[in-house]
Chain A
Amino acid sequence: MRVYGSEITSRLLLGTAQYPSPAVLAEAVKSSGTEILTVSLRRETADGSGAGFWQGLRETGCRILPNTAGCHSVQEAVTTAQMARELFDTPWIKLEVIGHSDTLQPDVFGLVEAARILCGEGFQVFPYTTDDLVVGAKLLEAGCEVLMPWGAPIGSGQGLRNPDALRAMRAHFPDVPLIVDAGIGRPSDAAQAMELGMDAVLLNTAVAKAGDPAGMARAMALAVEAGRAGFAADPMERRDMAVPSTPVLGMAEFA
């Protein structure tokens, strides 16, 4: 998978919040084989006071994708992105503009506006968006080269609530990397996203809040790999009728 000119081998991206400890996080990162970690730049740590935690993340050797989690306005998201670029020395930014505090649904109007501003400033924007095709098209117009549609609300673990919409996105944007971000609860959800032809999956809570985060990280990595291989192998279509898997013709007849 190529994103903004970088070749990415692992199709699983991990968030870094809510783990029992940084050591558990590091184990999960290792067993997932991920190459990209998202890090939220909360206002509390925007002054660089989170350095102790970030140092541990850098030591994993993964590429850091800072995010603007928790930002509710365009201005807030843009300012956070600018701080992130300085602190992490990367043009990458996962852009979140939250529109509803209960569902954490993206404010797609603010998202497009913030994406336009940040792309204009030379950022490489990974927008956290809904599965709406028109919004997706506007984000691409704004300069984004990747889309990150939700599967379900952040942290809900509900799996893909609207697989048909994701399938439509794949059909409409055949050459745009699509990364399902948010809503994955179980390995089967991740596999399903990949079977739909998504390019990658980004998840956090499903691993961080599992009883054995490293074990779940491994399970997710296997699921992503299986789903991708299944998609690439061109799966059969569903049928309404049973079709015997053993040929009927040529069977012995016992008169």
Chain B
Amino acid sequence: MITIAGAGVAGLASAYELARRGLAVTIYEAGDAPDNNPCSWFAGGMLAPWCEGETADPQVVRLGAGAIAWWQQVTEVVKRGTLVVAPPRDTAELTRFARRTESHRAVGAAEIAALEPALAGRFQQGLFFAEEAHLDPRRALRDLTRAVQDLGVQIRYGTPAPEQVDVDCRGMAASLPGLRPVRGEMAVIEAPDIGITRTIRLLHPRIPVYLVPRGDGIYMIGATMIESSSWRPITVRSLLELLGAAFALHPGLGEASVIETGTGLRPAFADNVPRLSHRGDTTHVNGLYRHGFLLAPALAKELAAQFCQDHSHADHCERQTA
């Protein structure tokens, strides 16, 4: 029996990969339902490794490349690419973004209009990352929860983990040395008439934002990145900036309803790259920063591979089927 602390995206993905190899797994989750995860619940759900390459370590791009196929096993993934645009005044940002990233092509006004009719005439230049995708992180968490339960994984909600677990996936609650919180704030809006179908990134020197469609006219707008451990609700300034940028993307979003705002603390190491680390008999899966959904699959696979090499578990590991 393998015990895991934390049923966020890292804990569930780890359980999935271990259970798929025939190992018995129990997850302890302090929250009382999948909806109460403090970090994964507020994620953007972008599966956009190449866009992230603008500032992220090359490892993030490499590890994230398999995420789309992995999530397609358990939940609906919308693979319509990412469209990156910039207001006319900030096209230099687009040049810089293009230089720092791969797997994109330049698109002009006509192609932007064809990809997203809602943005027709609003942007003259953009970049299209055709291979990228997005998912609804809340639906994905529920689907993944069901998938691991179908594989026989026990999830004990409302139950703090015992002192000794095999795998610790509790993010900031794990209080690992070198781990720091990066506060993120987001808003969810409802704009039934806009009809944007893929992730849009609006580049801006001060306030770059992304808008991720959640279906049914719902969009997530994110996200701030503040070196802070504060849980307090989104600040007026942050909300102004996020919504102002959304309004700059499309004035029609000015009529949208703000249906939710949220704050989460992303766990990050100094290089903002996640890793497996060993302390005593516990393996920590942590530091996923802003890449929880993007990188949890790769880390979970690495974790499962380590457990299957370990003699005490090796006898129980079945040959991996997929």
Contact = CB atoms under 8 A, between A and B. Distances in A.
B260 interface: no
Interface string B205-230: 10000000000000000000011111
B226 A52 contact: no
Of A44, A45, A47, most B-chain CB atoms within 10 Å? A44
Given A21-B272, A155-B205, A52 B229 contact: yes
B270 interface: yes
A21 B271 CA distance: 5
A24 B181 contact: no
A20 B205 CA distance: 14
A26 interface: yes
Interface in B46-92: 55-57
Interface string B270-297: 1111000000000000000000000000
A56 interface: yes
Of B227, B272, B273, most A-chain CB atoms within 10 Å? B227
A45 B228 contact: yes
Interface residues of B, number: 24
B228 A23 contact: no
A44 B235 contact: yes
Interface in A17-38: 20-24, 26
B226 A26 contact: no
Given A24-B271, A45-B226, A53 B180 contact: yes
Given A21-B270, A45-B227, A49-B228, A211 B99 contact: yes
B185 to A, nearest CB: 9
A51 B55 CA distance: 23
B198 interface: no
Given A20-B55, A52-B180, A44 B226 contact: yes
Contacts of A43: 235, 237
Nearest to B230: A49
B57 A52 contact: no
Interface in B103-151: none
Given A20-B272, A24-B271, A52-B181, A42 B226 contact: yes
B183 interface: yes
Contacts of B179: 52
Interface string A211-241: 1000000000000000000000000000000
Contact of A47 (B205, B230, B268): B230
Contacts of B316: none
A50 interface: yes
B99 to A, nearest CB: 7
A50 B100 CA distance: 29
A52 B270 CA distance: 10
Contacts of A56: 180, 270
B55 A44 contact: no
Given A20-B55, A21-B272, A56-B270, A44 B230 contact: yes
Nearest to B289: A21
A211 B179 CA distance: 25
Contacts of B57: 20-21
Contacts of A49: 183, 228-230
B237 to A, nearest CB: 8
Contacts of A53: 180, 227
